[in-house]
């Protein structure tokens, strides 16, 4: 049985790092930013533009909501939707090739037919602040409150992006096989434990 693992994650929880380390432990590829590069190449657009649009709340392109649908009034929407669909096409291709881990991009929904092992990674505020501080530029000053506000904003965008493609709740335990709290524990240790769990799952 093919190991198709998806990782959804709160910003600042270490989900991306966990995906990469889990991939090393399992000896399978992990795709995250590489998807952006592939889309940029396939669609002949800049990596920066794809990255900017990736996992953004597509609803910001709409100006009205009618029932469960949004009414599109912004012509940029087409470009953004095109990028999302190109990402999803690549995610499906990657999963069809063999075992892999996909981080974000509603991959749990996109790969539903592959019966993936879906993980949600989260952490407490203290852990998020500490982790975000590690990645701040030296001259970049942010208060704890500003960091948490940024985390919340990005998570809100991720949730909204996810909900554009599915009625499945982003971040709700029901949507995942395992929800992993990374607070007060090294990502290395969690990756090791998770690899053992997944190896048993697919044995």
Residue numbers at the binding site for a copy of itself (CB under 8 A):
120, 122, 124, 171, 173-174, 176-181, 185, 189, 192-194, 196-201, 203
For a copy of itself, the closer of residues 21 and 88 by Cβ is 21
Q: How far is the CB of 122 from a copy of itself (least distance, A)?
A: 6
DSSP bridge partners of 100: 4
Residue whose token pair is 């994650």: 9
Backbone angles phi, psi at 165, to 5 degrees: -110, -10
For a copy of itself, the closer of residues 142 and 192 by Cβ is 192
CB 12 within 8 A of CB 131: yes
For a copy of itself, the closer of residues 154 and 179 by Cβ is 179
Task: In whole angstroms, give the CA distance from residue 203 to residue 174.
Answer: 23
- Which is it for the CA torsion 127, 130, 136, 139, positive or negative? positive
Q: How far is the CB of 158 from a copy of itself (least distance, A)?
A: 16
Q: How far is the CB of 180 from a copy of itself (least distance, A)?
A: 6
Q: How far is the CB of 66 from a copy of itself (least distance, A)?
A: 31
Q: How far is the CB of 11 from a copy of itself (least distance, A)?
A: 15
Q: How far is the CB of 35 from a copy of itself (least distance, A)?
A: 26
Task: In whole angstroms, give the CA distance from residue 143 to residue 155.
Answer: 19
Backbone angles phi, psi at 141, to 5 degrees: -110, 125
Residue whose token pair is 């240790």: 189
Residue whose token pair is 């093919």: 2
Backbone angles phi, psi at 87, to 5 degrees: -60, -45
For a copy of itself, the closer of residues 96 and 199 by Cβ is 199
CB 165 within 8 A of CB 110: yes
């Amino acid at each position: 049985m093919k190991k198709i693992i998806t990782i959804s994650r709160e910003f600042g929880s270490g989900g991306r790092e966990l995906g990469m380390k889990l991939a090393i432990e399992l000896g399978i590829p992990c795709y995250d930013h590489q998807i952006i590069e592939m889309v940029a190449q396939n669609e002949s657009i800049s990596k920066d533009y794809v990255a900017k649009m990736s996992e953004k709340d597509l609803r910001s392109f709409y100006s009205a909501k009618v029932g469960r649908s949004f009414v599109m009034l912004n012509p940029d929407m087409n470009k953004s939707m095109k990028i999302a669909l190109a990402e999803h096409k690549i995610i499906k291709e990657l999963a069809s090739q063999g075992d892999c881990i996909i981080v974000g991009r509603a991959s749990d929904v996109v790969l539903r037919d592959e019966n993936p092992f879906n993980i949600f990674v989260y952490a407490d505020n203290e852990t998020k602040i500490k982790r975000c501080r590690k990645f701040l530029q030296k001259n970049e000053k942010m208060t704890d409150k500003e960091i948490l506000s940024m985390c919340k904003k990005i998570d809100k965008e991720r949730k909204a992006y996810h909900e554009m493609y599915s009625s499945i709740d982003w971040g709700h335990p029901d949507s995942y096989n395992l929800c992993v709290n990374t607070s007060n524990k090294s990502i290395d240790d969690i990756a090791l434990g998770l690899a053992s769990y997944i190896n048993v799952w697919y044995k």
